[in-house]
Amino acid sequence: MALIDIIIVSLFFIAILIIGLVERKKITLEDYYVNSRKTKVFFLTATVLSTFIGVGVIFGNAGIAFNGGGLIALAIPLSFLFYLMLYSKFIAPKIKEFGDTHKAYSLPDYFSIRYSKKAGIVVSVVNLITYGFYI
């Protein structure tokens, strides 16, 4: 890396740090984590779906189509669309209602409220391990 690259990246990080320090007093954790609980169910579902559909799926479909897969390349996007419709109709409203009622932010919060603090801790550890392997 050249010196100019290091300077540009450093200035970028300094600017981001300053903006973060100045703006941090204007929002709460509720604003940051769950958008003050104002997001509609469809958009919540779309964010979950976009987590599953990433560049890998897009490139995978392109590869399938290129190798002569034909219409089978539509199976993955259509299955995700079907999942989106079912999830947004039946599951997401219940999750949002529970989160809004109990001020829950995550899956460990759900288990802590629904079962016990120990269950929430176990789910937190399992999440950390799972995401550690994922990364």
Could you tell me the residue range of the domain that residue 3 belongs to?
1-27
- Report if residue 132 sits inside a domain: no
- Report if residue 5 sits inside a domain: yes
CA Rg, the chain, in Å? Answer: 20
- Report if residue 35 sits inside a domain: no
- Report if residue 8 sits inside a domain: yes
pTM beyond 0.85: the answer is no
- Report if residue 40 sits inside a domain: no
Nearest to residue 86, comparing CAs of 51, 57, 45? 45
71 burial type by CB count under 10 A (0-12 exposed, 13-18 middle, 19+ buried): exposed
- Report if residue 18 sits inside a domain: yes
Higher pLDDT, 73 or 20: 20
Q: Provide mean pLDDT across the span 11-22.
A: 92
pLDDT at 7: 94
> In total, how many domains does the chain have?
1
pLDDT at 48: 75
- Report if residue 58 sits inside a domain: no
Q: What pLDDT digit, counting tens, does each position of 61-107 carry?
A: 778 777 877 777 777 778 878 888 888 888 888 888 998 899 888 88
- Report if residue 108 sits inside a domain: no
